[in-house]
Amino acid sequence: MKFRGKIIDIACLNHFTRVITTISKLTKMCVLRLTPDNLFFVLSGKVANGGVSMWCELSQANFFDEYQMEGVSSEDNEICLEVTPENLSRALKTVQNAKAVKVKLTKKHCPCLTIAAELPTLSSISRVVTHDVPVDVIPRKLWHEFKEPSMPDFDVSIYLPPLKTMKNVVDRMKNLSNFLVIEANLSGEMNLKIETDLVSVTTHFKDLGNPPWGDDASQGGSASQSRDAEAMAEARVDIRRLQQFLMGQQVNPSKAMCNIVHQRVLHLILLHEDVSLQYFIPAVA
């Protein structure tokens, strides 16, 4: 197994750091899957993390000037590592003004992702800062747990309002309740609601628009097609999970949307030209 990559472009380095920082706000540990064309950050929905799962996909060519990897074997040309994204984020944040950053899989006292940055200097002597981020190599037999989650057969798909606005609303609601109901329909309307014995609060959004796949129900069912456009699909979720997602958002997506499987799953999707991030929050009764 070998992996080495090099980032020279400072804008790519900053963008890569923002993506890792976003992931570090969503989970303490995740799996980094390296393939010849892509990097994937994966959290599979185990009960231990509240059933939340995440899938973030990056095209290596959009970030790395050089990228070489050899997987476990020629048939299984992948490497799977368990990483702590916050450690990776912290290391990258300290090298933002570097002339070049190399990332390499190394074997020190344990397997590590070694980040070596060549820093600008006024003299002819080069300055290199090195960070070793410990990782665990995931054996081949466990790889099946970290495949891309299938698109749920949703009832409603809708574009999200500006994420900053949504975050402000959710932050205020969190002071009143631990759970939030998010509901939406195929007429571009979305409501965020909390209800307790003492208070009932609803924030309404309208004219958000619905992604085209909601019209043709491309994932196999025709539920969206035959659905009453005004009928609401809803999911009651742990408000901290949603707040975590909105707080950590540094990707500045060109599109942000959510799919709701009625009373089962809230599926959030952020798209930027070279990054896609999916986050699944299970509904609670």
User: 129: domain CATH number?
Assistant: 3.70.10.10
Backbone phi, psi, residue 140, to 5°: -50, -40
Rg (CA), the chain: 21
SS3 242: helix
Q: Are 259 and 270 in contact (CB under 8 A)?
A: no
Q: How far is CA 96 from CA 6, 106, 193, in A?
A: 14, 22, 40
Checking DSSP bridges between strand 30-34 and strand 156-159, what pairing results, if any? unpaired
Q: How far apart are CA 257 and CA 237, in angstroms?
A: 17
Could you tell me if 126 and 163 lie in one domain?
no
Contact in structure between 104 and 4 (CB atoms under 8 Å): yes
Q: Do 27 and 139 have their domain in common?
A: yes
Distance of alpha carbon 225 from alpha carbon 214, whole angstroms: 8
Instruction: Supply the DSSP string of 169-235, one letter for each residue.
Output: HHHHHHTT-SEEEEEE-TTS-EEEEEE-SS-EEEEEE------THHHHTTTS--HHHHS-TT--EEE
152 contact partners, CB below 8 Å, separation of at least 6: 219, 259, 261, 264, 265, 267, 280
259 and 191 share one domain: yes
Going by C-alpha positions, the residue among 278, 267, 16, 32 that lies closest to residue 153 is 267
d(CA 93, CA 21): 9
- Give dist(CA 248, CA 26) in Å, integer: 7
pTM (whole model) above 0.75: yes
List the domain range (segments joined by +) for residue 205.
156-216+229-267
Query: Coil, strand, or helix at residue 108?
Result: coil
Q: Identify whether residues 30 and 96 lie together within a single domain.
A: yes
Going from the first residue of the chain to its last (285 residues), give the mean pLDDT of each consecutive group of 10, the final group possibly shorter.
95 93 93 96 75 92 96 91 96 91 95 94 86 95 86 91 94 95 97 94 96 57 70 95 85 89 94 89 91
User: Is the residue at 222 inside a domain?
Assistant: no
User: Does residue 60 form part of some domain?
Assistant: yes
Asked if 80 and 199 sit in the same domain, the reply is no
Query: Which single residue is written with the structure tokens 């070049």?
Result: 100
Same domain assignment for residues 41 and 129: yes
Domain count, the chain: 2
> Which string of b and e fits 52-61 if b means at least 16 CB within 10 Å?
bbbbbbbebe
86 and 141 in a single domain? The answer is yes
- Phi, psi angles (nearest 5°) of residue 117: -115, 130
Q: Write the CA distances from 111 to 84, 85, 132, integer angstroms.
A: 13, 15, 9
Q: How many other CB atoms sit within 10 Å of the CB of residue 89?
A: 19
